[in-house]
Amino acid sequence: MSIQATARVVATRDGLPVLTGDGPLALRRTRAVGPCVRVTVVGAMSAPLGGDRLAIEAEAAEGTRLHIDSAAATIALPGRTAEQAHYDVSLTVGEDAELRWLPEQLISAYGSDLRMRTRVDLAASARLVLREEQILGRYGEEPGTLATRLTVHRAGRPLLDQELSYGPGAHGGWDGGAVLAGHRAVGQLLVVYPEFEEKPVQSRLLDEYAVLTPLAGPAYLVTAVAPDARQLRFVLDEVLDAEHLER
């Protein structure tokens, strides 16, 4: 039996008027460092399985700072049927607000088939730090089929629209030398700060398999591949720990 579940969080200057979750998506307010509000996604059961439809909707209203993370990795698993699973994330950030979306890794287990979509809508003065990490297969196994799409709009205009696909259901070449080159961990870090309009970030290689690329807007995207989750997190954390992201 498939599951449909939606979790919602809204942060305002007065706190968290909306903090609801059901099924496998439980939300908990957790201790934060600094003036931000922190919410942690806690998995209440194994999901997503084949046929499941999960969604998270989060909003940082005007003038607020919201940090969302998760207690553990999300594991996409095969279900009793061959149906695809769907996981949709919708993030909205108001004027002079900041959202840090920093969940743990998504693991694509053998035999699974997951479609994940993340849509972000930013006001002109909004700030965003967003990290996504995909681990292709558990230890010693081949990955399932995983397709992701990340779409970001700022002040009503497109900033980023990126689609990625891996595994046996993806088009050929995803594991070739020009893409993953045999690596099984891939991640993206997107940073949108209005002050980058005055002081743009320069493109650069971070190491042999990671690159920082400025976008056509006050933002940059770090793309990295690594042999495992530990090394991938190390590369992305180095960027998060950089001086301009210490907040």
Report pLDDT digits (tens) over 12-43: 999 999 999 988 899 999 998 888 999 999 98
Q: Determine the Cα–Cα distance for residues 64 and 41; give it in Å rounded to an integer.
A: 19
Q: Among residues of the chain, what percentage have pLDDT more than 90?
A: 73
Higher-scoring residue by pLDDT: 129, 3: 129
For range 152-164, the mean pLDDT: 96
Mean pLDDT of the chain: 91
Peptide bond into 48 cis (omega under 30): yes
Please say if the pLDDT value at position 246 is more than 60: no
At 97, phi and psi to the nearest 5? -105, 165
- 43 contacts 73 by C-beta, under 8 angstroms: no
Q: Determine the Cα–Cα distance for residues 167 and 155; give it in Å rounded to an integer.
A: 35
pLDDT for residue 243: 47
Residue burial 99-114, b: 16+ Cβ < 10 Å; e: rest: bbbbbbbbbbbbbbbb
For range 66-76, the mean pLDDT: 95
| Alpha carbon of residue 15 to chain centroid | 24
For range 184-205, the mean pLDDT: 93
pLDDT for residue 34: 82
Report pLDDT digits (tens) over 159-174: 999 999 999 878 777 8
For range 54-73, the mean pLDDT: 97
Non-local (6+) Cβ contacts of 34 within 8 A are: 65, 247
Please say if the pLDDT value at position 245 is more than 60: no
Task: Enumerate the domain spans of the chain.
Answer: 4-245
Q: Determine the Cα–Cα distance for residues 174 and 197; give it in Å rounded to an integer.
A: 34
Identify the band that residue 194 occupies on the pLDDT scale cut at 50, 70 and 90. Answer: very high
Q: Determine the Cα–Cα distance for residues 96 and 203; give it in Å rounded to an integer.
A: 26
pTM for this predicted structure: 0.93
Report pLDDT digits (tens) over 93-118: 999 999 999 999 999 999 999 999 99
